[in-house]
Amino acid sequence: LDGTVELPKVGVINVSGLTVVELTNKIVSILSKSYLNPFVQIRLTNQRVIVFTGRGKAQVVYLKNQNTSLIEAIALAGGIAEDSKSNSIRVMRKFKNKRREIYKIDLSTIKGIRDASMIVQSEDYIYVDYRPRVANRTIKEAGPWLQVFFSAFSLYAIIRTLTQ
């Protein structure tokens, strides 16, 4: 929680802001003073990314391995929804200076699919743009009312035909 880790016979080490490779090298360097050719293996737990799949839906995806690609993270979040844009995906990544860099991915092209093999990192935000489908939503919402109107109109036409 405070950006440190305590190792037996070494003490407390500040690990805040270090990548896995940087941390491995730092611990190897420290252990090399006391041991010959120390072997260090670091496994991160509680790594996660947040995937916004459109229409206000978001899902936290826990990364089970360090080599999870962008396309795998999207698939783990349920894939790209019907009303989302596969050609407008943004990955927001935080760097040491606390600023976020934005990568734009277009899965509708071969280059975009190649770009989607990028490895996601813990605390990445993945945002899939939403495509408002106004016509579909309007028809879906107006459908029951139109059905009542046309049913009533049909009934009126039948009754009028029968009474003539």
- Reported as a single tens digit per residue, the pLDDT across 109-118 is 888 888 888 8
Mind listing the pLDDT tens digit for each residue in 74-102?
888 888 877 778 788 888 988 767 788 89
Question: How far, in Å, CA of 74 to CA of 112, rounded?
Answer: 14
Stretches where the chain sits below pLDDT 70 are: 1-2, 55, 96, 132-136
The answer for residues whose C-beta is within 8 angstroms of residue 122's C-beta and 6 or more apart is: 44, 46, 47, 48, 49, 63
The tokens of 90 are what? 């943004």
C-alpha span between 136 and 139 (Å, rounded): 5
Rg of the Cα atoms in the chain: 27
Q: What pTM was estimated for this model as a whole?
A: 0.59
**Residue 23 tokens, joined:** 């941390």
